[in-house]
Amino acid sequence: MVLTPVSPPPSTPPSTPPSAPSSPVVAAAVVCVLSCDTRDPSQAGQETFPVPERQINGRRLVLHVSDRDGMAWGSIDNGRTGDSVWLDRSWDGGATWEGLLGRASIPGAWTGTRTLMYNVTDPGHHRRGLIRACGDAAAVVCTGWIYPTVCDVLCDRTSASQANGATQPVPPTTLFGRVIRLQTDLNGMAWGTIEAGGPGDEVWLDRSWDGGASWPGGASLGRVSTPASATSSRTAMFATRDPRGRHFGGAVRACGREAAHQEGSCTAWARPVPTRARAAADALLYSYDPYTAWWPTSWWNSATTLTAVMDSGIRDYDWVIARTFDVNRVPFPAGQRSSDPVEGDFISRSIDDSAWWGLTWVAAYDHTGDRRYLTMATTIATYVHQYWDTRTCGGGVWWDRERTYKNAVTNGQYLRLTAAIHRRTPGDSMWLQRARTAADWYLASGMVGSAGLVNDGLTGDCRNNGQTVWTYNQGLAIGGFVEVWRATGDARYLDTARRLADSAIASPVLTRGGVLTESCDVGSAVCDDNQKQFKGIFMRFLNDLARATGSAGYRQYAQRQADSVWAADRDALNRIGQRWAGGTPNQVDWRTQASGLNAVTS
C-alpha cells in the first residue's frame, strides 16, 4: 500500500484579477513551438475568438487565437492614450501566471493597440498552458482563460457511462480495504473508481503531460465522494491527448481517500491504449521537438522515425510531416543535425543518410499526395545516383562521398528509391533502367551469403566481407526487390524478396524463439543509437512483402513480433524497448520506440 498526501481540491482560475493580483506572478521565459513568442499578429495563420470579449469602461478587450499557429494575442479598442493590453499565461491551470506578456499602451492620437503573439502551450517541454487577455483602462479586466477543458475524441468531464470499452492498464491500489482502479477506454479517455468502501470516500484523477514527473493544473481532476448508502463511486472521464495543444501521450493515475483518514493512495501512472499503433505513436510523438522539427539528436534516425509515424496511418500527426520538411530542408552546419554539414535538400556526405530522407519523402508523397515530397525524393535520388560507380566491383553505390565502402545499406536504399521514383513518375524510363541495373548488380555482388542472409558489405577486392548480418540490411534488400518487382513485373525479383525473408525467419542469427533479434540484443550486449532502429526497418519491409504476396506466413511472423513487443517489452506508459522478447539489459528511448511502432503497425 502506498500512502500519499491528499491533493487539495482544484480552484477555479479567476477570470478578472484585482489590479494587484493575490496569486504569485512568475517571470516569463520565451516559448518556441511552431514559432517563438513575440511573433507579429500580421503573420497569424488564422484568427478566432474562443472566449467572449470584455468591456472596460467602454473599451473593447479581445483575445485573438490562431490554433493553426498555437498562439494568441490581445487587443484593446475604443480607448484613450495610455490604456494598455497584455496577456497572462499560466502553466498550472490558472493558479499562477506569467503576467504582462507583450504589454502595449495606446499611443497618442490612436484609439487601440494590440500585443504580439505568444504560444498558448509548450509541447516541447511538456507543459500545457492557459492564456487570457487583460487590459487596464482605469480598471483591470481580463477575458476568460483558453483552453481550460481538454478535448480529444471527447472532452474532459464526459460521463464514464459514455466510455468506449474499459480496460485497466495498471494494477489497482488498496487503502483501508478500499480498491482504487484506473480505467481507460478506446477513445483514450480515463476515469477512476473506488470500490468496497462507504459514504465519504473520495476518488479522483491526476493528469501529467510529462510522464508523471509533475502534474501542475492536473491534480484532483473529477474529485467525487461516495454518496450515502453507497459503497463505490467513479469520476467523470478526462482526455489524455490534447491535439489542439499538440500534446500526445498524457499520463494519468487514479487516487483515492478513505473518509476517516487524510492519507491517499494512487495507482501507477499509465497511458491508455486505444490501439497498439496509436499508443506506440503517441509515446513516440512525446519526444518530437516541434520547433526544431526532428527527434533530437539523431539525423537519419529522425527520417526513419517520421516514416514509422506515417506507416501508422494516423492522420492526427500529418502536421509533423510538413513541419519536418519545411524546417529541415535548409542547410545546417556540422553539429546541428549531424556530425557532417547538411547542405540543403537533406543532402550530406553520408550517402545513406541522404537516401533515408529520400525514402521518407517517397512515403510522405504516398501518404499526402503532395508532389513537393516526390520532387524532394527525386532530388535526393539524383544525388545518390552520382555515387553509382561501375569502375569498382562493376557497379553499386558508395557509402560516403569519399568512396571508401560499398555496402548493403546504401545499395538496398538505392534499389528501393530508384524503383519507387519510377513508379511515381509518369512516362519515366530512366529510373526504371537504373532500378533494373541495381537489382541485377545486387544479386551478382556477393553480399547475400549462402544462407540467404545479407552481410554488411564488400571488401576492397569486391568479395562478401562476412561482417555482421544486421536486420535492417536484410529488410532493405527485401523492400528493394519488392519495389523493383512492382516496377518491372519480373517475378525473379519477388522470388528474391521471398528467399531473403524466409532466410531471416528461419535463421537462428536473426530470429530466436520466434522473435526478431539483433546481434546486440544478446547476452550483456547493448545496441548503439543506430542499431536501436534496425529491427523496425526490417518489419516495415517484411510487412510490405506480406501485402505484396498475401502470405499468411509472413503475417503470422509479423503478428508474433507485435504480440511479443506488447507483452514483454512495453511499460505502462507504452514505452517500447530494444529487446522485443524482454530481458535485460534493455534500452528504451525514442529510437527503440520508433522501431517498436514499426513492429505493431501491420
* Cα Rg of the chain, angstroms: 28
Where do we find the cell 538496398?
Answer: 412
The helix (run of H) or strand (run of E) holding residue 571 is none
pTM of this structure: 0.94
Residues 6+ apart with CB under 8 A from 373: 321, 325, 361, 362, 364, 365
User: Rounded to whole angstroms, how far apart are CA atoms 535 and 582?
Assistant: 14
Q: Please tell me the predicted confidence (pLDDT) of residue 28.
A: 83
User: Rounded to whole angstroms, how far apart are CA atoms 387 and 353?
Assistant: 13
Show the low-confidence residues of the chain (pLDDT under 50).
1-21
Q: Which of 181, 305, 320, 308 is nearest to 248 (CA)?
A: 320
> CATH second-level architecture of 25-142?
Sandwich (2.60)
Q: Where are the domains of the chain?
A: 25-142, 160-266, 275-386, 391-509, 510-601
Where do we find the cell 491508455?
Answer: 272
Q: Please tell me the predicted confidence (pLDDT) of residue 151.
A: 97
Q: Please tell me the predicted confidence (pLDDT) of residue 602.
A: 81
User: Rounded to whole angstroms, how far apart are CA atoms 358 and 378?
Assistant: 7
Q: Please tell me the predicted confidence (pLDDT) of residue 15.
A: 37
User: Rounded to whole angstroms, how far apart are CA atoms 305 and 590?
Assistant: 9
User: Rounded to whole angstroms, how far apart are CA atoms 150 and 246?
Assistant: 11
Q: Which of 591, 592, 589, 572 is nearest to 580 (CA)?
A: 592
Q: Please tell me the predicted confidence (pLDDT) of residue 24.
A: 55
User: Rounded to whole angstroms, how far apart are CA atoms 238 and 188?
Assistant: 9
Which CB contacts under 8 angstroms, 24+ apart, belong to 85-88? Answer: 85/61, 85/113, 85/114, 85/115, 85/133, 85/134, 85/135, 85/136, 86/115, 86/133, 86/134, 86/135, 87/115, 87/118, 87/131, 87/132, 87/133, 87/134, 88/17, 88/131, 88/132, 88/134, 88/142
Q: Please tell me the predicted confidence (pLDDT) of residue 11.
A: 35
The rounded mean pLDDT for the chain is 95
Q: Please tell me the predicted confidence (pLDDT) of residue 23.
A: 60
Three-class SS state of 370: coil
Three-class SS state of 41: helix
Helix, strand, coil share (%) of the chain residues, nearest 5: 30, 25, 45
User: Rounded to whole angstroms, how far apart are CA atoms 194 and 180?
Assistant: 4
User: Rounded to whole angstroms, how far apart are CA atoms 542 and 548?
Assistant: 10
Q: Please tell me the predicted confidence (pLDDT) of residue 25.
A: 66
User: Rounded to whole angstroms, how far apart are CA atoms 62 and 460?
Assistant: 70
Three-class SS state of 320: helix
Three-class SS state of 478: helix
